[in-house]
A and B are shown apart, each in its own frame.
Chain A
Amino acid sequence: MAASFAVLFLGLAAGLIAAVLWIVNDTQTSSLVRANDADIATVDNGFRDEGIDEAVEVTKQRLGSSDSVRALSRGAYILLEDRAHGKRFGNLEGFAPRLGLFDLTSTGSHILGRGVLLAPEVYLFVGRDTAEITAARVRIVKAFGWVIAGSMLFAGIGGTLLRVQLMRRVDAITRTCEGIIAGRFNERILIRSRGDELERLSVAINEMLNRISALLDNLRQVSSDVAHDLRTPLTRLRNRLEEARGGSVTTVDYAAAVARAIDDTDQVLAMFSALLRISQIEAGTRVATFTQLSLSKLLENVVDMYRPVAEDHRHVLSASIQPEVGIRGDAELLTQLFSNLIENAIHHTPMHTTIHVALQSSEDAIVASVSDDGPGIPADEHSKVLRRFYRLSRDRSTSGHGLGLALVAAIANLHQATLRLADAKPGLCVSTNFC
């Protein structure tokens, strides 16, 4: 890139020089020719007035002294000759008449001049030395040459300095990234508040690294959670089967042990299914299958489904659902979302708790909430309960795998809805805010 720029610069400079040279040349040449022509006119006037002798006088005057052959400071070269006598006057050797504008070399000088016939036998030539013009040309080229050389040198030095500085900064960034690739996840690029583009890039890269770090932490956390929470039922299963092998006496005992083992296995499988479902939902593949649906009808269905269940658990399930509220979403996933919330309320609250399902639509938002007047969840655990496998300490002994709310959160996320846990004073209110 730099090379092509240099070539372009040189090309332009050459063009500039050529233009200047041409202009100067043209100007000086024109002025030289005009001076010649003025002299010719004067001599011509003298000739017309008084004849050739007058012409000679004028010529002498023009040359500024007697008829000595020498070049004047004005550099004028004149030749006046006639057919009868040859050269009559001038500081040039006689030559065969030649008409018009032409170059002549004489005694080492380059002369540009014009030849005219004052009369059929009288020839006049006036010319001037072009040495000055040539000298001017050389001076211009030299001057330009120095300037160009100088500027290219400065450009070269400046460019190299800039590049070195840039490379140093880019190297620093590259080294940091290589360190991170090698596993030192906490390294970050040093920011020096220079405010330029390279720094903005560095800031962006640091942000990206923070995000990756957070994701990795999350992944580690999930993996260890999963490992722990799946080990527990699997260990229990194994123990039961070992007991059955060692301790069972009758076929009935075996049958009972096997039945319990199947239950344990089912529990593990249910956990796997839920985890898979959460992953699938988080991967977002379902968004393409969203349809326009009536959230009101969906919630009414869910409420009708759970009313008998709630009653059997000695809970009261009530609802205030605004009709004809529509949203875009996945019917099955949304049904699962609200089922999970209601089931949570049924399982984690004591008898005689009231569970209320509400749907309200306003200008800015559609809010669906499930609230109960049970023991609620402490405010400091509100964000934690949405994590996979998280269980409140008071619920640790009850059955369940702690994935219900994680699934709810994943489904809400997929629908771009915000989930909010609030203290219902008393109790818990979980609201899903569809915008």
Chain B
Amino acid sequence: MTILLVEDDVELARSLIDRFQDNDYAVLHVGDGEAGLKEARRNEFDVIVLDRMLPGLSGLDVVKVLRHEARMTPVIYLTTMGGIDDRVQGLEAGGDDYLVKPFAFVELLARVRVMTRRSANHAPRLFAGSIELDLVHRTAARAGKPIELLPQEFRLLEYLMRHANRAVTRKMLLENVWEIHFDPHTSVVESHISRLRARLNQGFAVDAIQTVRGIGYKLLAPN
């Protein structure tokens, strides 16, 4: 798994490189936009992690050029620009995810993992382990047994299934299931997960959802 890291903060870059390597990622680091563009054109990377504020060519412009050249490598921004409009701007330029500094490394790692396994799955049915989701009729079943879910629980399960066997963080769930980008001071995610668990696990011995300490949750889908 290869990552292109475009970051001019040398200390941050060094720390990220170490931690990514600990997680079996190969990282190529450059310090400015032009070099980043050059490397991205030369090689195929699994993910590009890039700072928005770069000397010379900005991160935003790098993404715009890449997309214009039909390079669809997934891009995650790392940035201090946490304004409400900044995120929208970044995503509209063609980026896929947006992480505001400072961030927990596990957050970045989880998002990178999810992105490297991105598949444009528009199928009407989702399968993960013994769980089956009908996206058209909005029904769910585990080992053939139908399960009643509320709308938000359904969306939560869908997201977990699309990223089965990968840890997803609380923030990722808030952003993708509920589309909120602020931090609620309550246990929104936990409460919904516990409800989902209760319904999924009723009559089953195995907990379909695993809590990954310090990171988030993972849907288990043994193949």
Contact = CB atoms under 8 A, between A and B. Distances in A.
Contacts of B192: 305, 308
Given A280-B83, A308-B194, A270 B183 contact: yes
B188 interface: yes
A77 B138 CA distance: 130
Nearest to B187: A309
Contact of A346 (B182, B186, B195): B186
Contacts of A270: 183
A404 B178 CA distance: 20
Contacts of B194: 308, 312
B188 A273 contact: no
B185 A343 contact: yes
B12 to A, nearest CB: 16
A335 B180 contact: yes
A309 B180 contact: no
Given A269-B102, A336-B180, A306 B186 contact: yes
A346 B184 CA distance: 12
A178 interface: no
A339 B180 contact: yes
Interface string A251-293: 0000000000000000001100100110010000110010000
A347 interface: yes
A311 B85 contact: no
A273 B186 contact: no
Given A280-B83, A289-B85, A343 B191 contact: no
A404 B186 CA distance: 13
Given A276-B82, A286-B85, A306 B182 contact: no
A275 to B, nearest CB: 12
Given A304-B151, A305-B152, A311-B191, A332 B84 contact: yes
B145 interface: no
Interface string A65-104: 0000000000000000000000000000000000000000
B92 to A, nearest CB: 12
B191 A336 contact: no
Interface in B193-215: 194-195
A308 B195 contact: yes
Contacts of B70: none
A309 B191 contact: yes
Contacts of B123: none
Given A276-B82, A286-B85, A339 B184 contact: yes
Contacts, number: 61
Counting contact residues on chain B (CB < 8 A from A), the size range is 20 to 34
Interface of A, secondary structure class, is: helix
B19 interface: no
B101 to A, nearest CB: 10
A273 B179 CA distance: 18
B150 interface: yes
A270 B185 CA distance: 10
Q: Which of A286, A308, A347 has the most CB of B within 10 A?
A: A308
Nearest to A259: B214
A310 to B, nearest CB: 9
B14 interface: no
Q: Which of B82, B184, B187 has the most CB of A within 10 A?
A: B184
Nearest to B196: A308
A343 B184 CA distance: 8
B207 to A, nearest CB: 18
Interface string B154-190: 0000000000000000000000001111111111101
A304 B150 contact: yes
B108 to A, nearest CB: 15
Q: Which of B183, B186, B191, B192 has the most CB of A within 10 A?
A: B186
A276 B82 CA distance: 9
Contacts of B179: 332
Contacts of A285: 85
A400 interface: yes
A220 B190 CA distance: 40
A273 B82 contact: yes
**What 9 A-B pairs are tightest by C-beta distance, nearest first?**
A308-B191, A309-B191, A309-B186, A312-B191, A336-B182, A343-B186, A308-B195, A304-B152, A343-B185
Interface of B: 82-85, 88, 102, 150-152, 178-188, 190-192, 194-195
18 contacts: A269-B102, A273-B183, A276-B82, A277-B84, A289-B85, A301-B152, A301-B178, A306-B186, A306-B188, A308-B191, A309-B187, A309-B191, A312-B191, A313-B186, A332-B84, A336-B182, A343-B184, A347-B185
Given A301-B152, A347-B186, 17 more contacts: A273-B82, A273-B183, A277-B84, A285-B85, A286-B85, A289-B85, A289-B88, A304-B150, A304-B152, A305-B178, A308-B195, A312-B191, A312-B194, A333-B84, A343-B185, A346-B186, A400-B185
